[in-house]
Amino acid sequence: MAYTADQVLALAPDSGSAANGRKLANARHWKALGRSEAAVWGECQGSAVYQVRAELASMAVKCTCPSHKFPCKHGLALLLLAVDPGAVPVAEPPDWVASWLAKRAAPDHAKPAKAETTAGVDTPTGPTKEQQRRIEKREALIAQGIAALDLWLADLVRGGLAAVEGQSAAFWERPAAQLVDAQAPGLAARLRRTAEIPGSSDDWPERLLAQIGRLALLTHAYRRADALDPALREDVREMAGWFLKEEEVAARGEHVGDDWLVLGQYAQEEERGRSQRTWLVGATTGRPALIVQFAFMHSPFKETYVVGSRLRGELAFWPGAAPLRAFVVAREVIADPVAALPAAAGIEEFLASVAAALARNPWQERFLCVLRGAIPVYDTASGCWDVREPGGVSLPLRDAEHWRLLALSGGRPVTLTAEWDGATLLPLGVLAEGSYVQLAGVA
């Protein structure tokens, strides 16, 4: 067995699932337990009998229970049982296990991804020798790239940040291009975003220091990725540039079914195209999800998500310590538009959830914020916008005009959805008089 109980528990979507999984990880709750080289399976007695199976190589789990959580407590319990090789007898897999394993191995389910884009962790089928060789080659390149980046960052600090303002674009572009050559496009993109900070506001030196500090922490984490919690390792490798394909996300990521409310959307210019971010929240799970799409030049985005609509379906989340980015596996549009928002919180409660998310993934940059009882305020004297709670606790809005929000609220408390970037809120939509109105991305 290659994994530990801690690694299993790290897969738990929340502490409740982990505790319940631990409780069920006892043979007396199980019937027909068995294991082979590839898999472990069993039937668990819950409110019905559930068939639970897990692939050992990937720790991928499937269960017949109706839980929205993934993995569910049954899956966690089965994996925990299998940590002890003596606890589960070796047997011939029954049909419902064999057919599932065959389906997972089939190329249309988990396409053998190109080595360059495979995250270097175990894929369901395992990399071929050729793929393994390429992964190792790329690892070596990235290690060189990171070493060069760390030296460049150290030089930057040695010479002092004050010297940075007024540097030409090439000052930042050269190390960024080197990172692209080193096949670490994620780090390159981070460095390019950093290049926009100098001179962009009064407090730019502080923001720049924070940003390159976090970049240094990322390279630090990447170097010692093996020691990291497996879920956080996924985040760190993705941020460096081991981008997962949707097939890989579908195969390895958590799948969550729910009624997903499309809360907001905005597009940004990118190098050679545009990106679009769409925020969703699960009506019953209350889980936030971020769908990111890219389009080259003037071509349209692949999928269309209508703000204010509801999708019933399943999302697959990118694996990580606090999974947020997702794509839609299957969906149908529900006729009724959004009329109520789940998981709305007060400002303090929301900030506590931000702290909790940062504790899992310290590099998370965007947070979905659903505020209830928020009063949008425009201070004519200072020209500043914020949202306030009746007690006066407030968060600033992003630097722009928010007249529609002010018009829709009329100075009264509303339920507001927004994206928090750690400093300001970008309003996405507002629930006023029983209907949801899109704010970001509308004239």
Residues 207-236 that bind other proteins (CB under 8 A): 209-217, 220
Q: How far is the CB of 419 from other proteins (least distance, A)?
A: 14
CA 102/CA 55 separation, integer angstroms: 11
Q: How far is the CB of 201 from other proteins (least distance, A)?
A: 14
Binding letters toward other proteins, positions 259-298, x by CB under 8 A = ----------------------------------------
Q: How far is the CB of 368 from other proteins (least distance, A)?
A: 16
CA 179/CA 41 separation, integer angstroms: 44
Q: Could you tell me which of 414, 392, 391, 390 has the C-alpha nearest to residue 402?
A: 414
| Identity of the residue, 127 or 429, whose beta carbon is nearer to other proteins in the bound complex | 429
Pairing of strands 384-388, 310-317: unpaired
Q: Is there binding between residue 162 and other proteins (CB under 8 A)?
A: yes
CA–CA–CA angle 436, 365, 271 (5° rounding): 90
Q: Tell me the number of residues near other proteins by CB under 8 A.
A: 58
Residue 332: its H or E element: strand 326-334
Q: Is there binding between residue 57 and other proteins (CB under 8 A)?
A: no
Q: Is there binding between residue 343 and other proteins (CB under 8 A)?
A: no
Stretch touching other proteins by CB under 8 A, among 26-34, 59-67, 133-141, 432-440: 432-440
Answer for which of 46, 308, 342, 362 binds other proteins (CB under 8 A) is: 362
Residues 366-425 that bind other proteins (CB under 8 A): 375, 377-378, 380, 386, 388, 390-396, 403-404, 406-408, 410-412, 422
| Identity of the residue, 16 or 391, whose beta carbon is nearer to other proteins in the bound complex | 391
Structure tokens at 269: 């210019």
Do 88 and 35 touch, CB atoms closer than 8 A?
A: yes
Q: How far is the CB of 344 from other proteins (least distance, A)?
A: 17
Q: Is there binding between residue 339 and other proteins (CB under 8 A)?
A: no
The per-residue b/e assignment along 357-375, b for 16 or more CB within 10 angstroms, e otherwise, is beeebebbebbbbbbbbbb
Q: Could you tell me which of 92, 67, 93 has the C-alpha nearest to residue 13?
A: 67
Q: How far is the CB of 404 from other proteins (least distance, A)?
A: 5
Q: How far is the CB of 351 from other proteins (least distance, A)?
A: 6
Q: Is there binding between residue 140 and other proteins (CB under 8 A)?
A: no
Structure tokens at 298: 């003037």
The per-residue b/e assignment along 81-103, b for 16 or more CB within 10 angstroms, e otherwise, is bbbeeebbeeeebeeebbebbee
What torsion, rounded to 10 degrees, do the Cα atoms 101, 106, 108, 111 define? Answer: 100
CA–CA–CA angle 222, 239, 352 (5° rounding): 100
Instruction: By CB under 8 A, name the binding residues for other proteins.
Output: 150, 153-155, 157-163, 205-206, 209-217, 220, 347-348, 351, 354-355, 358-359, 362, 375, 377-378, 380, 386, 388, 390-396, 403-404, 406-408, 410-412, 422, 432-433, 435, 437, 443
